[in-house]
Structure 1
Amino acid sequence: MRLFFPFTPFSNPLFQAFLRHFSSNTNLPTLGKIPTKYRPQAIKEAQEVVTDYLHTTSALPFSYAEFISKNSVHSLAELMSKVDFSSIYFRKNFERFLRYNPLHEFGFFYESIGIHYCNINDFLKPNVHFFSDDSTVLNVACTLAGFGFPWNKLGRLYVEEISIFEKNPKFLGSKFNGLLAMGFSTEQAVGICLGFPFLLKGEEVGLKGEFDELLDELKRVLIDYDLGDGLVGNVDLWYEVCRKLRLFYDLGVPKRAVGESISKSSVVFTDYSEKVLAEKVEFFCKLSVVKADVGLLLLSHPEILSIDIENRVVSVSGFLNHFGLSKNELKLLMEKYSYVFGRNKMSNLPHILRAMDLHEWFFHNMKLGKYPLFGDYDLSSPDEGEDANYVQEMENVKCLRHYSYLLCKLKFFHGIGFGEHGFTMKLLKDVHGSGSDLHERFDLLLNEGIEFSKLCKMISYTPKILNQETDSLKRKIDFLRQEVGLSLEFLETFPAYLIYNLEKRIKPRYRFHVWLAKQGWVKKKYTLSGIIAISKKGFLEQLSCIHPTAPQLWLEQCEQTKTSESKKMELHVSQMIIAQEMAVNIFQSVQRFPFTIAASSPIPSHHNMSVRKPGCA
């Protein structure tokens, strides 16, 4: 077994596969003044100059200096844009520029280890420009590179566990050698540390303690079950395997359950990319089921990962029939959730099912092994579920100037389960706001505790609830719960509550009724909807039925409110006028100030003016 120690000379050819060679990148935005045909050569020369600069000026080993220069293309391009270009003398010009403009070494370093160029400023420390200002970070990076970590992936460690780069290199060496002592290969140990960075930051020198369970399970998965067959010598693949393992652990799947699944079939980790796995996890998590169950489903039935979701269209009635619902069941669903039926994208299926409270039924059937029905579903005919009105309206929308804006709104409605039919197109006219605004308002109502299917039903009844700003919705819900004392079930029967003005209608009317009740005048109970929804004239008639003087008292209260608001407005206007007059006076004083100075200053005469003689310095 080979042990690694800090600052061993870098000679592992494995790294060459991970270096990002940017010399072929000719589309950098800051290199506009360099002709396209000269850019590859200019970048190559600039990289060589920066390499020599870091090697000689900063006394950095040549291999590390080269890593930094070749993996920091955006920082390099920004620097190159400040140098006069010449096809013959560019190298000399660049060298001369660096003599008088020292390199911000940490900016180049952070980009080279894989931190996105746009995020580098978040990590730069004030007054720390050179490696000599803070050598700890560079020493740790060189140590990890010596262990076998790809240089351009060290940024993942830095972003997730920055404390690693504050450790003593000998401490990190003991942690890494501990992994090797457990039987992991160098590539496996590197992949484990990249996938689970917290393993490198523990305070104890050994690998005992709180991480034992994870390490034992990783040993069982990667070594005992021989998951690494075909992955020998490939750090990238081991890192991807560890990211997949962590994905399941983060879902809450017991570590032993993951290991047992791998012992039966390892195709989830060897045959499918992390992107495919993440997409399927996201798809099934949208069903609002237990996340650990989603992980177990994919581990138990890896064939699901082969099912195409993104590029398929579903007819809701056809899919439910294909999945086992009878015609009578479909008829009842269509009567209750007519706005859901029609065509939609397969990727929206989780929310389609949640809009009808069928998500748990669907997921249960998937766990029972009915996933082939999900995989082999297809439209029975090209026009199945197609709505002619929707198609015609879409053609009309495409001709509008704000087509993209409407398309985003339409995408939102389809995304929450509304089908491709005329009713959904009508919502575009009734509901105002961008697609992102509608998402934000919908999510707020959902997070407040309204069930998904009931919220969709509320929108179908009263679409204008999505026209309200999020802070307005929040205040109305808080008032309903805290002062009125009603639950959110009230909104299911009266969603229009959310569209009335809280300060000018809901609060005054409700509080006046409460006051009347305290006076003992209210003989029967009035519902909140009956108090709010009624017109102004109807409200006065309602009050007259409670007590003959109630309407007059209400009108007097309204008049007092208007007078108070009017006085506040008058005060505000008068304050604005005074402030404006003061600003004008100050401005006029400033305008006169130079002339006042000039008038009070003595005009120099030719007697006291110094005359400069020719030839005098």
Structure 2
Amino acid sequence: MLRLRSSIVTHLLYSPATSPSSSVQRLLSAAAPRIPPSPGFAVDYLVENCGLTRPQALKASTKISHLKSPCKPDAVLAFLSGLGFSTADVAVLVAKDPKFLCTRVETTVGPNVVELTALGFSQTEIASLVSLIPASFRRRSIVSNVPYYLSLLGSYENLLRVLKNSSTLLFVSLEKVVKPNVAFLRECGLDHCDIAKLCISWPRLISTNLERVHAAVACAESIGVPRGSRMFRQALRAVSFLSKEKVTAQVDYLKNTLGWSDAEVGIAVSKLPMLLVRSKGILHILSEFLISEVGLEPAYIAHRPALLTYSLEGRLRPRYCVIKFLKENGLLSRDRSFFPAVTVTERVFMEKYIIPHDEAAPNLAEDYAAACKGEVPARFIFA
């Protein structure tokens, strides 16, 4: 049966003498058995033919309870098999979108696949798209906007990343919505690469109405990050779809929690706009550690806001313990700054702060590794 199914896509994609509709219709009419349904037809079919567990099948069956014949689902499974779907792949897709089994292959899925193939997509790439946005493939047609997004985003991989965050993007009007938004972002000084990165991380920015994009730009400028500046893209990403009230509340929280003045908040946010969406709980914990335990001044942190982006247990505390241990034992100058030790890579940190002290502190590497796991070695307990 699987061999018979797999021949359908091959026939559809590579037979120039026949149209997708006619070839699929002819093959399906021969392949699909016309058997009368039993009362448990949907559940049994989902278990036996699609690889779902019975609980999954019971849940999914409510979406396809109107089916009275296996003709449509058989044709869909044949198509998926031809695209290289395994039984496990089919089970995942059907559990995600049971209605996909109700699709008319010859009028929706089939033509979409043919058009994607004509654009140069491989069978594997098409299969990945079907898995990612099966509901979209039930519509006709999803392909017309694809060339534009490939050009905008630069690669198939980036297109997949965008569709993971916004599965309906292919249906947004290019002329009325997307292109005007992209044109305005270019006017704001963002280049092609910047816009692509914004789309990947926050596709809603180009799929919303132009007025909201204008509002996001105005908000970015209001926090001290002007158009054309190095951090403008980051600021735009941070404030997109945040209300003025939420931005104001976060600014107030930064002032109250870190003891910053208005000027210091402006300095920190202009250097790291993503502070505006940082969790308040995390900011509180980090500020307590950096100010109360490490002894850093609020102004020092404001000029180095990256300190508020690192993991407390995974980086800040273990490295602080190493630095404090070295200073306490006269192995490091007392005026050595904490910030450089935090920002370097793990390899550089080991080369600069651990390895040179192998003889004087033979257990330092072991203690540091333990601290990174959340343990507190005795040598890292300071009076």
Range class of TM-score, shorter chain: 0.3 to 0.5
| Higher relative contact order (Cα pairs below 8 Å, separated by 6+ residues) | 2
| Greater Rg over alpha carbons, structure | 1
Q: TM-score w.r.t. structure 1 length?
A: 0.26
Q: TM-score w.r.t. structure 2 length?
A: 0.38
